[in-house]
Structure formats: C-alpha cells, structure tokens
Chain A
C-alpha cells in the first residue's frame, strides 16, 4: 500500500530518536558502577509518593464524581470542563498557585497563624503528594464519573421502583461499577506520578524527597556524573515504562467535558443529608481547583510590572519551540496513523514509556563529544516535546481516521483518490476537529514542559517554564507570578486557537 510509505519514514524517525538515546544510556550505564544507596532512596521515594498520591486522589475523587453524577446545578458544565484543564496546565504554574495557598506565606498558614496554630510546610513528601492530587484528582474524577454515567438510567429507575435505599443502591449498582473502574484509575494516577519531575524539582528535593527523574537531573547538573545519570535513566525506564503504557489509554481526554453532560435522576438520593454531602464535596473540589488558579491570576497581575526582560525573551523561545514541536508532532502522528498498522501505534507509544529526561540524557551523551549540547537546546527541546505529545495526538487522531476510512474509504478508492489527493480532499477535511484538538494538546504540553530543557539549557537560554523556575529559585516570587500568568495565558491560548481552528464550519 502506498499509504504506509510516510508511515514507515515517520516510524523510523521516532524509533531512532527514542531507541538511539536509550542505547547510548545503556552503554554509558554499564561502565557507571554499582547502584548507590541514594539511588535506592530515590526509588523508594518515587514509589511511596506515587502510592500515596494515587490512593488520595482516588479516595477523594469517588465522592466528588458521585456528587457530579447525580446533581444538576448551575456551573456544572464549567466545572466539568475545568476538570480537563490540568492536562494542559503547566506544572510549574500550578505549583506557584499551590504555593500561594499552602506555602509559607500562603492563605492556609496565614489562617493558622490567626488561630495561633503552628504553620505547615508544603515542601517534602506532603507537598509533592498535594501537587499530584491537585493534578490527578480531576483526572480521577473524570474517569470515575464516566463509570457512573455508564450505569444505565433504567437501573436507577428500577431501584427507585423497588424502593431501594441509598446504601442498597450503592451496594447493588455503584459498588460493582467502582470495583471495575477504580483499579484502572489507581493505576493511571500511580503511573503518572512515577515519572514526576517538575513537581519534585520545585516541592521536593533533598535526600528524603527526590524522585528518580529528579535524581537524573541532579546527577547531571550538580555532579555532572553521566554514568550515574545513565544508570538512573535505566532504573526509571524499568520502573515507569510498562506502567506508563498501561496508564496512557485512560489519561487522554476525548475532548474536554465531552459526553459527561447527562445527569441521571436519583430518587434514593433526594434527601437533605445526601444533598448537603454532595454540595460539600463539590464545593471542596471546586475550591481546591479554583483557589490556586485564582491566586495565580491575582499575584500574576501584580507581578507583571516586575518582570525582567528575560521573561519576554523566554516567552518568545517557548512559543517558537511549541509551534515547531506541534508541527513535528502532528506530522509524525498523521503519518503513523495513516499507515493504520499495529506497529505504527507501538512506535508512537514508545514515547510514553520513555521519560523525557531519559531521552534527554541519551541525546546529551550522544552529542556531547561533538557539539556543546547547550547549542542544541532549542531543537532538542522541540523534538523531545513532540515525541512526548505524539502518543496523545495518535490517540486522538487514530479513531477518527479509522471512522473516515470505514465510511468513505471505498468511495475514495473507487475514485482513485490516493496519496496527496486523498489527504487533501478526504483526510484533512474529515480530521480537522481531531487535528485541531491534538495540535492544541501538543502545543500546550510543549509550552508548559519543564523537562529536557533543564538538561540542555545554559544560563543564557531558557524557556518560559525554566525562566519561571529560575525566578522562583532566586526568590523573585512576584516576577515569577507574572511569568506564570503569561505562561498560563500562552498555554491555554495555544490550545484554544488550535482547537477553535479545528472546529471551524464542520459539515456532518
């Protein structure tokens, strides 16, 4: 088939870009010496924080999802849309918002001081878990809400007809659903938290709160111990690789808020107690999401005037990187998706199994003998970001492409639409909404990424997230807040522009 030609090329590029660095890491790690006790500490902390984050996220998500499933209230649609937002929210921006609420001078500690109570610290294990819950509670809520909405409305009517109580409904209808849905959700959050870098970088650190990803970065930046970095990269691959692939399938939103609009009437829950309980959970979850975001906005507006010029330069760099990586990502994803072969999907998935820091380490090892790696910071960041977004773009594009081929493939074949003509007249127009959505995801993910750039950048070069991190490290919190607001606006803006552009005038 002529159509898989570009797919082969794309697959070759992706495989080389992922396997090449892996191989380089592997070669380096063998000569790197034995596993240190600090390596084990990083492994232990990584697993511990992932377990706690997953358990807490799910435990809180269950009552929130139940409340959302059975209550119609004004703003419900907006809240559900907001549950999709953390997916494209830059981690460092969220951390800044959480610092404004839970940090040393934040709202919570100010309140505690008023009451004469001792302050709480956001740094260390509790801070890392808090940030992970902030990101994953919405994701878990969405997954579990889907489970709730998968229960047919007729069953609740039957339950009402039989006069079942709330406890009985939970036992016969809701608990079996949760038993099917919760293990998957736990797995997803656990796997996401295993690869945590930016959260650990900003809220963790020190020998007692370092993830493996962070340890790779530290081996690089503080000790320039490439052997240790490579060894840790290998550990990370084993630790997170398989889990990430399993988790990935549930993590991509199919369109924010899509299909979650229905509220099923629940007769057994029409008591004042149940109403108050649901209202409480919804308020709590909404507050936990909205207050840090509002703080970013408030502090950011104040900080806008105090930003050094470097912030604007970094913003420009980030936009350029985001656009390049979006084009790369969508080009690769479309070529792979059009091949419509199992191997294409496997190749795209490799990006999710291998962490950006691992690829970054490998690329660094490869180019270091030849060129100063910092000179390649921009292209490498754009490339790695594209690879990281590739599985998500594939996940969005592949089903739409399959549907298009199923509906119109025979007609296109009969008309001799092949190659460019098929792309131009059939695939691009039919896939426009999916292309817009996935380009939005790729652009926003790249915009907010603080990963591989940390390995390659020198003091003269920074993306906006990295610049923010540097400002935070220099305790210029106002300037960091201003940069955070700009970063937030750019990430959401890029997503919005692409997603909107894809919707255009779509004919059924």
Chain B
C-alpha cells in the first residue's frame, strides 16, 4: 500500500494537495489537464521533490525523506531512460547493481529479461541504435530485473504511435504482474487509462483525488474532467 498523508506540494504559486491510498498490486492511471501537477505528484512519490507538508508512506513506513534510490521504486520516464554511452545490457544491469559488478548468473538474468521484452541478442547495442519502441522495451527489461514492488511511469510512451503504445502498455501490464508490483502511470491520454483498466487518480484544481474505478470516472466525469476530455 502506498499512502499520501496530508501531502502539500508547493512550487512558487502552484499548490497541490493529496490525501490518498493506493492498494497493493493496483493498476492506477493518473489523469488530468496538463499543468495540474500529475508529474509533480509522481516526482514527490519517487523522491525527486520534497513536499512542503505531509508524509509519503509505503506499507505504513515513512519514506518522505528517503533518497530516490532507496525507496523500492522502479521508474520509466518519457525519454532519457537509458544512458546513451552504455550498452543496452549495461543499462539493464544497473538495475541489479549500480556498480555493474555482475556475476555470471546475473548476466544471464539480464539476457533473459531482454529476451522476455523481445530484445534477445541486442544487449551489446548502444541505445542510439534502437528504435523508440525498443528503447521502451529496454527500460521495461530493467524494471523486470529491478523487481521493485512499485512501478512509476511518467508518460512513458507518449512519443510512440497508437498501435505501438497499446502493445507497450500490454507489456507493462505483463511485467508488473510478473513482479507482482503496483503500477502508477501518468498519462495525458484517457485512452491509455481505459486500456490499462483498474483505477484512476484525477489531478485537477489543486487536488489529487483518491483513486476510483477508471470506467466509472470516464462514464460520469466531474465537470473539470469533462472540460479536459472535451465532450
């Protein structure tokens, strides 16, 4: 369980409040108009941005002041998910050991993860030689070996076409199920939320609402969401 307890995020004139629980193993989309603070909310959970007030808890333990690397969280951003100067296998290997001192077993594990996301035999390539979709897959392979119990995705496939995006979402879903991880995904596209299913957190008008069923939210959107959706 991920808990945001009385969290207040302030940045100049911007303010966002969050008081919510995300149950273990849930699939949760974070939706809302741009500029509402979806990514900022994720940054607070990941530890890149400190809230002005309130606590972030995982399984009841306070992680508000923990450094990003010690929160038990895997991440996928829109871009810059891979270090361009390292090979794909090294990029994935960093998920096992930040010092990249891998045993033979661990290297086999990396290879298996690459195989699993459809990048078998491409471990020796540099990211620059992969397509956008393949780069996303490499990021997912790293999430697979990291095996962390919470996965945060910040508009991860925004640059991909619709068909490829659906395919990648399905892969994300599979990866999360395999690890048994909770999934939290920011997206500006309600279609992504519908495809992912599960629940959705609406971020709008300075508040991050508690998660509700996606279908329900999209069937009966509150006025602010209706304006955003445009129908």
Q: Which residues of A contact B (CB under 8 A)?
A: 407-408, 410-411, 413-418, 420-422, 424-426, 429-430, 506-508
Contacts and interface: CB of A to CB of B under 8 A. Distances in A.
B126 interface: yes
B80 A407 contact: yes
A503 to B, nearest CB: 13
Given A413-B67, A414-B69, A507-B127, 19 more contacts: A408-B80, A410-B46, A410-B68, A410-B75, A411-B77, A411-B81, A411-B83, A414-B46, A414-B73, A415-B69, A415-B95, A418-B67, A418-B69, A421-B98, A424-B99, A425-B94, A426-B83, A430-B83, A508-B84
B48 A429 contact: no
B131 to A, nearest CB: 15
Contacts of A508: 84, 128
B86 interface: yes
B99 A411 contact: no
Interface in B66-97: 67-70, 73-75, 77, 80-81, 83-86, 90, 94-95
Nearest to B93: A425
A500 to B, nearest CB: 18
B170 interface: no
Interface SS of A by simple majority = helix
B98 A418 contact: yes
Top 5 nearest A-B pairs (CB, nearest first) are A416-B69, A429-B85, A413-B68, A421-B98, A421-B99
A506 B85 CA distance: 7
Contacts, number: 67
A152 B75 CA distance: 42
B47 interface: yes
Contacts of A424: 99-100
Contacts of A407: 80
Contacts of B81: 411
A425 B83 contact: yes
Interface string B47-79: 110000000000000000001111001110100
A422 B100 CA distance: 11
A410 B76 CA distance: 11
Contact of B84 (A415, A416, A425, A507): A507
16 contacts: A410-B75, A411-B75, A411-B77, A411-B80, A413-B47, A417-B69, A417-B94, A418-B67, A421-B98, A421-B100, A424-B99, A426-B83, A430-B85, A506-B85, A507-B85, A508-B128
A429 B68 CA distance: 22
A54 B165 CA distance: 61
Contact of B69 (A413, A420, A430, A506): A413
Contact of A415 (B48, B77, B80, B94): B94
B95 to A, nearest CB: 7
Nearest to B146: A415
Contact of A410 (B48, B126, B128): B48
Given A410-B77, A411-B75, A425 B86 contact: yes
Contacts of B127: 507
